[in-house]
């Protein structure tokens, strides 16, 4: 750690994150698990939705959890670092490029987001009513999808943090995160929108869609899902886009 300032900063951020990991997981997973309880337990018991709906919804819940954890893990500390105290100045004085500091924050947030996605899956299955059909025969691919999803979520959080002032965060969650979830194929598969073609095409611009469909393709392959190559291209495109925008925005906000 002493030989690499970047690794030392990553070690410090993960150490600090470890102390606050439980609050982060509770905050990030509270809403998804409440939705699981209502949509995946109560409504099937009332006969309003079929038991098979839990299998359809599970990947979307995992995707929403990763998105929430990745954004919060990066965005909340970043607002403090870029706030009045300007704690970020201690980081940018390190003998590494400013964009490298941004990448370090992205990596730390991605690891936390990936963990949230892994944790929510067994909890959601336990809460759901009736059988949940999942395929666990490809754990490696599931881990890859979760890691890519974590990187995408963290890069989005870093981009938002460098773009939006801390006073605007509450409005940002209403205007950005809400629509991302509602049109992110969380509660329904992307292929199910074939009867609403305009909406199916519109959702292609939503990064959450590729996270949910990626988990769906690996975990519930019997549910109709997006083409695997389209999922991979979508994940890599949005990771590249948000990472580039976030690194440029981070450099702009930290260097005057």
pLDDT digits (tens, 9 = 90+) for 168-210: 767 777 778 888 888 999 999 999 999 999 999 999 999 999 9
**Backbone torsion region of residue 47, taken as left when φ is above 0, otherwise alpha when ψ lies between -120 and 50, otherwise beta:** left
What average pLDDT does this structure show over 37-64? 88
Paired tokens of 39: 């949509």
Segment 80-113, tens digit of pLDDT? 666 555 555 555 555 556 666 778 788 888 888 8
Q: pLDDT confidence of 2, banded at 50, 70, 90? A: very low
What average pLDDT does this structure show over 38-46? 88
pLDDT score recorded for residue 144: 93
Segment 218-227, tens digit of pLDDT? 999 999 999 9
Question: Which residues span the domain enclosing 86?
Answer: 5-254
Tell me, rounded to whole angstroms, the distance of Cα 80 from its chain centroid.
21
Distance, in Å, from the CA atom of 171 to the CA atom of 190, rounded to the nearest integer, reads 28
- How far CA 61 is from CA of 102, 113, 133, 213, in Å, comes to 28, 13, 15, 11
Instruction: Dihedral sign for Cα 145, 146, 151, 152, please.
Output: positive
pTM: 0.85
Q: pLDDT confidence of 77, banded at 50, 70, 90? A: confident
Half-sphere exposure of 139 (CA within 13 A, CB side): 1
Check: CB of residue 8 under 8 Å from CB of residue 104: no
Distance, in Å, from the CA atom of 187 to the CA atom of 64, rounded to the nearest integer, reads 10
Query: Which position has the higher pLDDT, 12 or 187?
Result: 187
Q: How many structural domains does the chain have? A: 1
Distance, in Å, from the CA atom of 68 to the CA atom of 31, rounded to the nearest integer, reads 10
Paired tokens of 253: 């906000």
């Amino acid at each position: 750690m002493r030989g690499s300032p970047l690794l030392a900063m990553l070690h410090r951020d993960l150490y600090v994150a470890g102390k606050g990991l439980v609050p982060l997981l509770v905050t990030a997973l509270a809403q998804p698990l409440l939705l699981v309880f209502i949509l995946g337990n109560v409504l099937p018991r009332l006969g309003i939705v079929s038991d098979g709906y839990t299998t359809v919804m599970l990947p979307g819940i995992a995707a929403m959890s990763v998105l929430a954890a990745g954004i919060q893990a990066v965005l909340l500390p970043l607002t403090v670092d870029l706030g009045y105290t300007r704690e970020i100045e201690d980081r940018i004085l390190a003998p590494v490029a400013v964009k490298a500091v941004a990448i370090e924050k992205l990596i730390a947030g991605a690891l936390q987001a990936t963990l949230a996605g892994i944790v929510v899956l067994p909890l959601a299955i336990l809460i759901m009513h009736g059988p949940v059909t999942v395929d666990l025969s490809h754990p490696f691919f599931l881990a890859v999808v979760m890691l890519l999803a974590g990187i995408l979520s963290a890069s989005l959080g870093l981009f938002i943090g460098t773009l939006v002032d801390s006073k605007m965060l509450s409005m940002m969650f209403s205007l950005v995160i809400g629509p991302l979830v509602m049109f992110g194929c969380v509660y329904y598969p992307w292929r199910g929108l074939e009867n609403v073609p305009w909406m199916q095409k519109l959702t292609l611009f939503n990064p959450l869609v590729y996270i949910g469909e990626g988990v769906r393709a690996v975990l519930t392959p019997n549910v109709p899902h997006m083409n695997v190559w389209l999922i991979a291209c979508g994940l890599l495109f949005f990771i590249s886009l948000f990472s580039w925008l976030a690194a440029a925005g981070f450099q702009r906000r930290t260097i005057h």
